[in-house]
Structure 1
Amino acid sequence: MLVPEFPDTQDKQPTIPISLTRVGVTGVKKLLKIKREDKRPIILLPTFNAFVDLPSTQKGVHMSRNPEVISEIVNEMEYESEVHMETICANIVKKLLEKHEYAVCAETEARSEYIINKLSPVTKRKTQETTQIIAKAVALKDDDGNIKIRKMIGAEVVGMTVCPCAQESVEKDSKEKLLEFLDEETTEKVLNVVTFASHNQRGIGTILLEVSEQQEVNVDDLITIIQNAMSSPVCEILKRPDENRIVTNAHQNPVFVEDCVRNMAKGLLEKYPDLPDNSTVTIKQVNQESIHQHNAYAEKTASLGELREEIN
């Protein structure tokens, strides 16, 4: 059967000759099975976004090539072991530039829910916690046709934060009331053993780290760093002793949204001291406020070299 040839409308000149930064597809879902030696495979359902730039001389991109490339790369890596999502993204952007000969920049992002197993803090009940894995890659083609790729891996994790300033005001108010019927020494003893109330937030921490072909960063490490940056991790299954432990520990470790970002930066440098100075990292924290309608936000984007210089 002969397949009819249709006109390539995308290759025509646009009516308005303006170049576009990113054109492509979003929301492409794929099943990804990551094999591991001596362990059960990890099953992910990542959602891909894939874009290329468009010159002012091109009316449109050949849009079907983007989901085709995603499918081809995912299928090619189906039988590979220890596949990394950032490597999949890197392979996608490289192939996008090969398919879209008019483009000089390609970008791909993938996000997937990732389940981690843990135990509740006191009763040790098994529970599954949902986090997000994030992977990105950007490819640039120079005038000679050489392609340079940058890839990033990251995680987004939910935790709990406790406001330090509200807690200080509660402690000050409590001290004044205690001094009405206790002496200074006894009051200080009470203050040292009592956990003071404050308002809480559900915190969402994110790390997105640039890595090279020679570097491996375990996403589980990033999840741990994010969790430790907040007042406390959260847990899906909690009995009363577990609730008490989490709430008490969180109120003994109050942090601002700014503290969370700084804690993540410090934790990342301590965990991966050998990552090169020119690796870029973006660290974000969003605290969903309980006593305001707005949320609190903090972010740091820098090279690891810049972070090391600031901390030292």
Structure 2
Amino acid sequence: MLPDVQGLPDERGVALDEVGIDGLRYPLLIADGQGIKRETVATVDMSVSLEAGVKGAHLSRFVEVLHAWRDQLDATTALSLAEDVRTRLGTSNARVRLSFAYFLERRAPITGARSFSEYECTLTAAASGGANSVLLQVRVPVTSVCPCSKAISDRGAHNQRGYVTIEARPAVDAQLWFDDLIDVAEASASSPVYALLKRPDERHVTMAGYDNPVFVEDMARHVVVAMRSDKRIARFRVHVVNDESIHNHAAFARLDWTVATGDKDA
């Protein structure tokens, strides 16, 4: 029998908020909004609280639990994963954070040509003896056309790539997933971006964006209007940034919102 050094007692009387593993790259299957499993590789952080009298956590158990859940992850099973970590390591609190590329098949707006669009997503699940929670975050690339540039120019208007980041905490027992947040983010912009566009699609996207100019402030407010009355959401944060095409800086807008009370911290 090999000695269990981590399980030895510690006499310094210092409890630790989090102990765990950080930056593990691991292949996973993540369900999309239609229940289809998508292959991806996640960067994984996993942690537990550590009582004052315990010397260390058994880090190998994090990977064992992750491997057991790797092919069945969605919002519900992510909570089960965190609870499994908490139970297996015998602690009061556990947290699992998965950051990964999330791919959805998109059709070009005119020709219907199919391609996959990539979105940066993070799924965080926390278990605390019944007080469990999930946090979803997605970063969505979009196109925006400047309303001011359009208004003052004889021809054209400057446009740029932007990113809408939405972080949302679902309400208890609510069915909310990355697809829902992506739809809100893309609808807030002048136009979505696509991996594949044929000439008729490019023409359509260019003109549609020109007909729908938005500032970063507009995009942030569009997101808030779409989400603040959604009963599936308890709290959310939106951060919009434009990589300005004619300025040597980026422009951004941000807002935190608690849906139940309407409280905000701009």
Fold-level match, TM-score > 0.5? yes
- RMSD over aligned Cα atoms: 3.1
The answer for the alignment partner of 1:165 in structure 2 is 148
How far apart, in 2, do the equivalents of 1:235 and 1:10 lie? 52
SS of equivalent to 2:261: helix
Q: How far has the Cα of 1:61 moved from its partner?
A: 2.4
Residues 247 and 33 of structure 1, relative CA distance in 2, 3 Å threshold: closer
Structure with the largest fraction of helix: 1
Q: Give 1:143-222 correspondences, 5 Å limit.
A: 146-168=129-151, 170-171=152-153, 174=154, 196-198=156-158, 200-212=159-171, 214-222=173-181
Q: TM-score, normalised by structure 1?
A: 0.71
Structure 2 vs 1, CA of residues 19 and 164 (structure 1 numbering), >3 Å: closer, same or farther? farther
1:301 is aligned to: 256
Compared CA separation, residues 95 and 289, structure 1 to 2 (3 A): same
Aligned to 2:18: 22
8 Å CA contact 2:191, 2:205 repeated in 1? yes
Name the residue aligned to 2:48: 52
- Over 3 Å counting, the alpha-carbon distance change for 1:20 and 1:300 in structure 2 is farther
**Distance verdict in 2 for CA 1:244–1:34, change over 3 Å:** closer
The answer (yes or no) to whether the contact 1:74–1:88 under 8 Å persists in 2 is: no
Q: 1:210 to 1:237 in 2, by over 3 A?
A: same
Flag structure 2 segments of 5+ consecutive residues without an equivalent: none
- Matches of 1:60 and 1:296 in 2, distance apart? 45
Aligned ranges for residues 77-156 of structure 1 at < 5 Å? Answer: 77=72, 85-101=74-90, 103-140=91-128, 146-156=129-139
Which string of whole-angstrom CA distances, capped at 9 and with x for unpartnered residues, describes residues 213-234 of structure 1? 5321243232211101111111
Are residue 242 (structure 1) and residue 201 (structure 2) matched? yes
Contact 2:166 2:238 in 1 (8 A): yes
Verify: 1:275 aligned to 2:232, yes or no. Answer: yes
Q: Indicate how the Cα distance of structure 1 residues 250 and 89 shifts in structure 2: closer, same or farther if over 3 A, else same.
A: same
Q: For residue 305 of structure 1, give the secondary structure of its aligned residue in structure 2.
A: coil
1:70 positional shift = 1.3
Contact 2:146 2:213 in 1 (8 A): yes
Measured against aligned partners, the alpha-carbon deviations of 1:37-68 in whole angstroms (never above 9, x if no partner) come to xx894222251321123345544322212112
Contact persistence 1:107–1:136 (CA under 8 A): yes
Shift of 1:166: 3.5
Spell out, residue by residue over 1:144-168, the C-alpha distance to the aligned partner (whole angstroms, 9 max, x if none).
Answer: xx43101133433211112333434
Among 216, 234, 239, which residue is 1:284 paired with? 239
Q: How far apart are the structure 2 equivalents of 1:53 and 1:292?
A: 46
